[in-house]
Amino acid sequence: MKTLKNHLILFDAECPMCRLYTQAFVDTGLLDQTGRKSYQKVLPANCPNVDRQRAVNEIALINQETGEVSYGVYSLFKIIGNAFPFFNPLFSFRPFGWIMSKAYAFISYNRRVIITAPEAAGELQPSFKLHYRIIYLLLTWFVTSIILTRYVLLMAPFVPADGPYREYLVCFGQIIFQGIVVSVLFRGKLWNYLGNVMTISFGGSLLLLLVLVLHRLIGTQPLIFTGWFIIVVGLMFLEHIRRSRIMGLGSWMTASWVTYRVIVLLLISLNQ
């Protein structure tokens, strides 16, 4: 692999994903050992051509010889294309670049709710794009609902199934219920909280999907699937506490999160 020399990539030190993949570029030789640095540690005077806010939103790659700066997915294209030139025709194909730039933006603008992190005082923060957050909420809601709809069938009769759309309504109801509570108690944190809570739900659904994929090897004992479901909910509860603490929400939102689930369980029991 060919190293892209005399280039510096600026990453978000508060984003574990950004730290991970930029370090991978260095470790695999795609960039020099000195080819990455967090934008939090770079003074504006040292990189005068860099749009600081854009570099926060879209990872910046600086050519230290010419001062040229590329951003976002095009920074990644430049690094990968230098090491693997056969990808360059694909990277130069405009429809592909457009699609990948939108996928990159979707992840970038939601990265602080995918892996939450406390905001550093006085530092530039990623811009908020409402449409990307709404798409994220809808996507995680839809995928989570699909997995739960399939998984609940394996827990019968401990958790009886009740039509194909119940889990969709339950998951969407969580967004509405928690959205109302957080709007009343912590005005201004609505979209940040909803993004985090749906990340928790999505993560829990992936843990259920693991067992759902393996259920033919595990067998069809409802007790096993119900027990795993309880374990996953417990892990989600602990993660909700952790993220709420980071967001400065205390225990109020966790209490309402549990309350909603108790209400749902009671309604399911009454309908049987």
Question: How many separate domains does the chain show?
Answer: 2
For residues 264 and 168, membership in a common domain is answered with: yes
Residue 69's SS3 state is: strand
Q: Which whole number is the average pLDDT over 25-43? A: 87
Identify the pLDDT of residue 241. 96
- Asked if residue 119 is part of any domain, the answer here is no
Contact 152/159 with Cβ under 8 angstroms? yes
- Nearest-5° angle of CA 235, CA 253, CA 168? 70
For residues 105 and 177, membership in a common domain is answered with: no
For residues 260 and 140, membership in a common domain is answered with: yes
pLDDT tens across 174-222, in order? 999 999 999 999 988 999 999 999 999 999 999 999 988 887 777 778 8
For residues 43 and 147, membership in a common domain is answered with: no
For residues 110 and 138, membership in a common domain is answered with: no
Domain end (from 114, 148, 174):
114
- Asked if residue 102 is part of any domain, the answer here is yes
For residues 12 and 109, membership in a common domain is answered with: yes
CB-based burial label for 89 (10 Å; 0-12, 13-18, 19+)? exposed
Cα distances (Å, whole numbers) of residue 29 to 4, 14, 17: 8, 23, 19
For residues 137 and 263, membership in a common domain is answered with: yes
Q: Please state at what angle helix 73-83 crosses helix 94-109, rounded to 10 degrees.
A: 120
For residues 96 and 196, membership in a common domain is answered with: no
> pTM of the entire structure?
0.90
For residues 233 and 173, membership in a common domain is answered with: yes
- Asked if residue 64 is part of any domain, the answer here is yes
For residues 248 and 137, membership in a common domain is answered with: yes
- Asked if residue 157 is part of any domain, the answer here is yes
- Asked if residue 161 is part of any domain, the answer here is yes
Q: Which whole number is the average pLDDT over 105-112? A: 93
- Amino acid at residue number 160: P
Residue 122 has pLDDT above 60, yes or no: no
Contact 244/254 with Cβ under 8 angstroms? yes
- Asked if residue 42 is part of any domain, the answer here is yes
CA distance 69 to 55: 10
Which domain does 157 fall in, by range?
130-270
Residue 127 per-residue DSSP state: P
Identify the pLDDT of residue 123. 67
- Asked if residue 214 is part of any domain, the answer here is yes
pLDDT tens across 140-178, in order? 999 999 999 999 888 877 777 777 888 999 999 999 999
Query: Can you list the pairs that 128-132 forms with residues at least 24 positions away whose Cβ atoms lie under 8 Å?
Result: 128/191, 129/105, 130/191, 132/105, 132/106
- CB-side exposure of 8: number of CA atoms within 13 Å? 18
CA distance 185 to 61: 41
For residues 39 and 152, membership in a common domain is answered with: no
Which pLDDT band holds residue 77 (cuts at 50, 70, 90)?
very high
Domain end (from 114, 138, 167):
114
Residue 32 has pLDDT above 80, yes or no: yes
Domain end (from 114, 143, 159):
114
For residues 266 and 134, membership in a common domain is answered with: yes
